[in-house]
A = this chain, B = another copy of it.
């Protein structure tokens, strides 16, 4: 795990909307429009947050066809455990310094 990746992991989580998205998806898989309604936010905004979460690997989305033929994009959480401590940070910085130097 590089320094950049480590930071991307942390910053992808550091947002209240994204916390709520994860909390909702933890209970059940939902499609984008439904999720937007429950969170009371615009779809456009939700998309941005979902992409940030998906890039970091915290959620994953896939298209699904509903009974009445609509394409729904469902998202679900990918179980994760993010741990950061002094040793990890030292290692990430050291690795980065060597690769860059």
Contact = CB atoms under 8 A, between A and B. Distances in A.
B26 A89 contact: yes
A23 B93 contact: yes
B22 A89 contact: yes
Which applies to chain A's interface (DSSP): helix, strand, loop or mixed?
helix
Copies in the complex: 2
A85 interface: yes
Contacts of A79: 85-86
A13 B23 CA distance: 22
A26 B84 contact: no
Interface of A: 3-4, 6-7, 10-11, 13-16, 19-20, 22-23, 26-27, 77, 79-86, 89-90, 92-94
